[in-house]
Amino acid sequence: MRAYRSAILRFDDDRSARYEEDGLLVIGPDATGRQVVRAVGAYAALAANYPGVAVEHLPGRIIAPGFVDLHIHFPQTDVIGSPAEGLLPWLENYTFPHESRFADPDYASEVATVFLDELQRNGVTTALTFATSHPVSVDALMQQAQARGLRMIAGKVLQDRHSPDGVRDDTRQSLIDTEALINKWHGKGRLGYAITPRFAPSCTEAQLRGAGELAAQYPDVWIQSHVAENKDEIRWARELFPQSRSYLVCTTASA
Residues 84 and 130 in one domain: yes
Residues 207 and 120 in one domain: yes
Residues 36 and 117 in one domain: no
- Determine the Cα–Cα distance for residues 132 and 212; give it in Å rounded to an integer: 19
Of the residues 45, 63, 81, which one is the last residue of a structural domain?
A: 63
What percentage of the chain exceeds 70 in pLDDT? 98
Of the residues 63, 94, 115, which one is the last residue of a structural domain?
A: 63
Beta strands in 64-145 (DSSP E): 67-73, 124-130
37 Rama sector, left if φ>0, alpha if ψ -120 to 50, beta otherwise: beta
Residues 34 and 74 in one domain: no
Number of domains comprising the chain:
2
pLDDT of residue 252: 59
- Determine the Cα–Cα distance for residues 7 and 248; give it in Å rounded to an integer: 43
Of the residues 22, 45, 63, which one is the last residue of a structural domain?
A: 63
Record the pTM: 0.87
**Confidence label for 136 from pLDDT (cuts 50, 70 and 90):** very high
Does 253 have pLDDT greater than 60?
Answer: no
Does 251 have pLDDT greater than 80?
Answer: no
Burial string for 49-72 (b: 16+ CB within 10 Å, else e) reads ebeebeeeeeeeeebeeeeeeeee
Residues 6 and 88 in one domain: no
pLDDT of residue 244: 86
Residue type, 211: A
CATH number at residue 122: 3.20.20.140
Range of the domain at 7: 2-63
DSSP assignment letter at 95: I
Residues 59 and 105 in one domain: no
pLDDT digits (tens, 9 = 90+) for 145-157: 999 999 999 999 9
CATH number at residue 53: 2.30.40.10
Please compute the mean of the pLDDT values over residues 5-27 and round it to a whole number: 94
Residues 131 and 178 in one domain: yes
Residues 49 and 169 in one domain: no
pLDDT digits (tens, 9 = 90+) for 25-63: 999 999 888 889 999 999 999 999 999 999 999 999 999
DSSP 123-170: TEEEEEEE--SSHHHHHHHHHHHHHHT-EEEEEPEE--SS--TTT---
